[in-house]
Copies of this chain bind each other. A is one copy, B any other.
Amino acid sequence: MKVLVIHGPNLNLLGTRELDVYGDQTLEDIDALVAAAAGEAGIEIESHQTQREGEIIEVLHGGVGRVDGALLNPAAYSHTSRAIADAIRAVPYPVVEVHLSNIHAREEWRRTSVTGEAATGVITGFGPASYVAGLHALKQLLEG
């Protein structure tokens, strides 16, 4: 079982600014955490980070026929990208959307997720643990 992990824009700067909102862990810390949890669960991980909306679509497309699911943190694109949402609809495997902060408790515009509209499920608010929970939920979806 293989899973894409896709980190959207600005997540590479985690741990350096706005620590009260996003916590003090870096993206490397999160990737290590996810890798450990994936290892225990017997899941192979392929991790990407990009600032580019189009590249997120390309990575999702690139997973067709190769992966069993994806964990996607679209960051700010969650709230604006109809194109990523259409990509999620267009790929044959389940995509789980995760957010570090609780988007329901932030600015008005962060409360609606247009990509979450296309995802299988959404997990929000648990910091890096959102990724781990997403990994487990994805496993349960795929293996039942």
Contact = CB atoms under 8 A, between A and B. Distances in A.
A141 interface: yes
Interface in A49-90: 50-55, 57-58, 61, 64, 75-77, 79-83, 85-87, 89-90
A26 interface: no
A122 B121 contact: no
A104 B116 contact: yes
A119 B90 CA distance: 26
A12 B57 CA distance: 11
Interface residues of A, number: 61
B53 A54 contact: yes
A67 to B, nearest CB: 15
A94 to B, nearest CB: 10
Nearest to A92: B17
Given A51-B58, A121-B123, A86 B90 contact: no
In the A-B complex, the 6 residue pairs with the closest CB atoms: A121-B125, A52-B54, A104-B116, A51-B57, A76-B82, A76-B83
Interface of A: 8-10, 12-13, 16-18, 50-55, 57-58, 61, 64, 75-77, 79-83, 85-87, 89-92, 96, 102, 104-105, 109, 111-114, 116-126, 129-130, 132-133, 136-137, 140-141
